[in-house]
Chain A
């Protein structure tokens, strides 16, 4: 900073710490609730220190869900979420990098038309065209399947833009040299473009993994079979009407399990996460 103002710096720390306390509070209470018995939580006010039921609660939901309501194991839901997140992340990256490579490195009829088609999908979020998309997927017989969960979500205008922007900054000399050396386009793609795109791919992976894991509306429509629920859907189904009947300790254990994987990805890949966020919005 430009000048010494100890009181102002102290104030800044105080504001940040207060902000973090407010942001962390829901997570802390969730964690405490997930380590308690239902009786503890129902005895208002619930205790604010962790209890001793951590192992029982987590083992119960992972293996068998809740005792009422959802009886599907959360372990299975976590697996479904993981499959969905990975398939969406890799699917989006694969089809987008291929499409933008074609659009940047080739001249062909309809090139601009294709680019425009991909661009327009930005304007059609799934929330807006729920019913017709659901009809298409059910006509194709994809209800309650991984294909139905992931395929409709893997088209990505943002990823295509990101790769296109990046390819345009790759020096022309590289492609020229590759051509003089007799390398074909796919050889050039594999040996030059792909290694250069590594950090963009990592950044996109973080963003798209979170996007895939956190999907809500789509799996809500597509999964009617408990064994195909994702973790996020499972939580919602566990909350029964009238909050005294809900097994909050188990719901909160499931909530912890559902938010840990994406949070871990953000924290462990923080550098790529920040890069990915900033770049996908360009």
Chain B
């Protein structure tokens, strides 16, 4: 789409885009190019000499059991976060769509976790699940569950999944609610007249009409679990115990900052960029389809 009426100036448009383009070049393109460049290099322990090693960093990564493990962890983590987040928020949105009294109050009380920083969300749940002082730890112990995520990888994973999904429920809820409210009422009424009960109506009419929203949220939630949950992980488990919660983004940070392995970390960055690009393409494909729909 283009404007029919435009202004004319030889310098003004360049001046207007200049700030945005300058920031983009200095802080996006330049570092991205450097990440690509470093990923072909090997640095010695003191950072003084570098050596061009071609694809050796990538080959080392793909042969590294830890890295492949981190891939598996990330897959499990993002499926769990997206799955629980979407299921719970769909249930809540379907209920909120039904009630009339108090609807605004319910919505207000459900959306505030969106404002909580991932790291703070991590700390809130860390406190509840703390091995020695946590209130949920105490409750679990009193029913005979031995809870100590510091030692048990599965429990650490559960902790970060709960914290990450908790924060994301409000976002999913708002989109599901908007989706539900845009479904034409006559469709539902016609089904009701034909004798379909609420459950039948939900699965045969509402849910299919909601599936574009659900698919969109699936992609957004996976992106969230991949990248935005860094704060949750760093504030709680820091990838531990023994790498049980070390998702890819955390490993980039850990190897690059703590491990000072510039080449390896950059190679991981390049792989992650490829994943983001793939996810963005999927997301935009979907957006285009929705427009035609």
Contact = CB atoms under 8 A, between A and B. Distances in A.
Interface of A: 1-3, 5, 8-9, 11-13, 15-16, 19-20, 23-27, 29-30, 33, 41-42, 44-46, 48, 94-96, 98-99, 101-108, 111, 114, 117-118, 120-125, 127-133, 135-137, 151-152, 154-155, 160, 167-168, 172, 175-176, 179, 184-186, 188, 210, 213-217, 220-221, 232, 235-236, 239, 243-244, 248, 251-252, 255, 258-259, 262-263, 265-267, 270, 273-274, 277-278, 281-282
Contacts of B124: 26-27, 29-30, 255
Given A41-B133, A48-B135, A127-B227, A277 B171 contact: yes
Contacts of A217: 230-231, 234, 253
B144 interface: no
Q: Chain A's interface: helix, strand, loop or mixed, by majority?
A: helix
B5 interface: yes
Given A26-B128, A45-B138, A128 B108 contact: no
- Greatest chain B CB density within 10 A among A121, A188, A213 is at A121
Contacts of A123: 273, 276-277, 280
B5 A172 contact: yes
Contacts of A282: 287
A216 B171 CA distance: 19
A38 B117 CA distance: 25
A248 B20 contact: no
A3 B27 contact: no
Interface stretch (B49-57, B60-68, B262-270): B262-270
A93 to B, nearest CB: 11
A220 B234 contact: yes
B133 A243 contact: yes
B169 interface: yes
Contacts of B174: 274, 277-278
B33 to A, nearest CB: 8
A136 B12 contact: no
B7 A266 contact: no
B125 interface: yes
Nearest to A135: B34
Interface residues of B, number: 101
Contacts of B76: none
A278 B98 contact: no
A132 B128 contact: no
Given A23-B109, A216-B117, A278-B175, A131 B135 contact: no
B23 A210 contact: no
B111 to A, nearest CB: 6
A146 B138 CA distance: 43
B192 interface: yes
B231 to A, nearest CB: 4
- Greatest chain B CB density within 10 A among A5, A12, A46, A96 is at A12
B116 A121 contact: no
A89 to B, nearest CB: 14
A111 B113 CA distance: 40
B198 A5 contact: yes
A270 B111 contact: yes
A133 B269 CA distance: 12
7 contacts: A9-B99, A13-B99, A127-B272, A135-B34, A175-B6, A270-B108, A273-B111
Given A129-B35, A132-B31, A217-B231, A239 B120 contact: no
A71 B174 CA distance: 40
A31 B37 CA distance: 48
A23 B138 contact: no
A111 B9 CA distance: 13
